[in-house]
Amino acid sequence: MSIKPSIPKGTRDYHPNLVSKRNYIIQKLKDNFIRFGYHEIQTPSFEKSNILKGNYGQEGDRLIFNILNSGEKVKKANINSLKDDNLSEFVNSISDKALRYDLTVPLARYVSQYQNEIKFPFKRFQIQNVWRADRPQKGRFQEFTQCDADVIGSDSILNEIEMINIYAKSLKDLGLKNLELKINHRAILNSISKKIELNSQFKKFMIILDKIDKIGQENVIKELIESLSLKDKYIEDLKFIFNSKSNSDILEFIEKQYIIDEDSKIALGQLKTIKDFFDLNSYDHINISFDLSLARGLDYYTGVIFEISSNNHKEIGSIGGGGRYNDLTKRFSAQNLSGIGISFGLERIFYILENDSLFPDSIDQQNEILVLNFGIEYIKKLDHVINYFRKSNNLTIYPDESKIIKQFSYADHNKFRSVLIFGKDEDENNIFKIKNMESGIEKIINITNFKEV
Q: Which residues from 116-145 bind a second copy, rule CB under 8 A?
A: 119, 121, 123-124, 129, 131, 133, 143
Name which of 147, 177, 176, 170 is nearest 31 in CA terms. 170
- Taking CB under 8 A as the criterion, the residue among 177, 194, 272, 331 binding a second copy is 331
Pair 132, 63: CB distance under 8 Å: yes
We find the least distance from the C-beta atom of residue 214 to a second copy, in angstroms, to be 24
End-to-end Cα, the chain, rounded Å: 57
Q: Specify the residue, 26 or 260, whose C-beta has the smaller distance to a second copy.
A: 26
> Residue 92 interacts with a second copy (CB under 8 A)?
no
- Taking CB under 8 A as the criterion, the residue among 21, 25, 29, 110 binding a second copy is 110
What is the C-alpha to C-alpha distance for residues 314 and 144, in angstroms, rounded to an integer?
Answer: 21
We find the least distance from the C-beta atom of residue 243 to a second copy, in angstroms, to be 31
> Residue 437 interacts with a second copy (CB under 8 A)?
no
Instruction: Please work out the total of residues on this chain that contact a second copy, with binding judged by CB under 8 A.
Output: 107
> Residue 71 interacts with a second copy (CB under 8 A)?
yes
Contacts of 91 by beta carbon, 8 Å cutoff, 6+ apart: 66
- Taking CB under 8 A as the criterion, the residue among 24, 26, 41, 235 binding a second copy is 41
> Residue 350 interacts with a second copy (CB under 8 A)?
no
- Taking CB under 8 A as the criterion, the residue among 366, 408, 433, 447 binding a second copy is 366
Rg (CA), the chain: 29
What ranges in 196-259 are assigned the alpha helix state H? 202-209, 212-228, 235-243, 247-257
> Residue 449 interacts with a second copy (CB under 8 A)?
no
The mark string for 374-403 relative to a second copy (x by CB under 8 A, - otherwise) is: --x--xx--x------x--xxxxxxxxx--
> Residue 28 interacts with a second copy (CB under 8 A)?
no
> Residue 405 interacts with a second copy (CB under 8 A)?
no
- Taking CB under 8 A as the criterion, the residue among 24, 26, 86, 94 binding a second copy is 94
Contacts of 386 by beta carbon, 8 Å cutoff, 6+ apart: 371, 379, 395, 397
Q: Which residues from 47-66 bind a second copy, rule CB under 8 A?
A: 47-48, 50-51, 62-63, 65-66
Q: What stretch of H or E contains 189? A: helix 186-195
Strands 122-131 and 39-40, sheet pairing: parallel
Q: Specify the residue, 171 or 241, whose C-beta has the smaller distance to a second copy.
A: 171
> Residue 343 interacts with a second copy (CB under 8 A)?
no
The amino acid at 453: V
> Residue 36 interacts with a second copy (CB under 8 A)?
yes
Sheet holding 143-152, edge to edge: 39-40, 122-131, 143-152, 339-345, 318-325, 304-310, 179-185, 286-290
Pair 247, 210: CB distance under 8 Å: no
The mark string for 268-307 relative to a second copy (x by CB under 8 A, - otherwise) is: -----x---x--xx--------------------------
> Residue 14 interacts with a second copy (CB under 8 A)?
yes
> Residue 415 interacts with a second copy (CB under 8 A)?
no
What is the C-alpha to C-alpha distance for residues 349 and 318, in angstroms, rounded to an integer?
Answer: 10
- Taking CB under 8 A as the criterion, the residue among 95, 217, 289, 326 binding a second copy is 95
- Taking CB under 8 A as the criterion, the residue among 87, 215, 363, 441 binding a second copy is 87
- Taking CB under 8 A as the criterion, the residue among 103, 147, 149, 151 binding a second copy is 151
What is the C-alpha to C-alpha distance for residues 57 and 74, in angstroms, rounded to an integer?
Answer: 28
- Taking CB under 8 A as the criterion, the residue among 61, 155, 197, 347 binding a second copy is 155
> Residue 363 interacts with a second copy (CB under 8 A)?
no
Pair 97, 46: CB distance under 8 Å: yes
With b meaning 16 or more CB within 10 Å and e meaning fewer, what string describes 348-366?
bbbbbbeeeeebeeeeeee
> Residue 414 interacts with a second copy (CB under 8 A)?
yes
**Burial (CB count within 10 angstroms: exposed 0-12, middle 13-18, buried 19+), residue 316:** middle
> Residue 67 interacts with a second copy (CB under 8 A)?
yes
Q: Specify the residue, 220 or 337, whose C-beta has the smaller distance to a second copy.
A: 337
**Which range in 191-199, 211-219, 251-259, 327-335 contacts a second copy by CB under 8 A?**
327-335
C-alpha angle 435-439-440 in degrees, rounded to nearest 5: 40
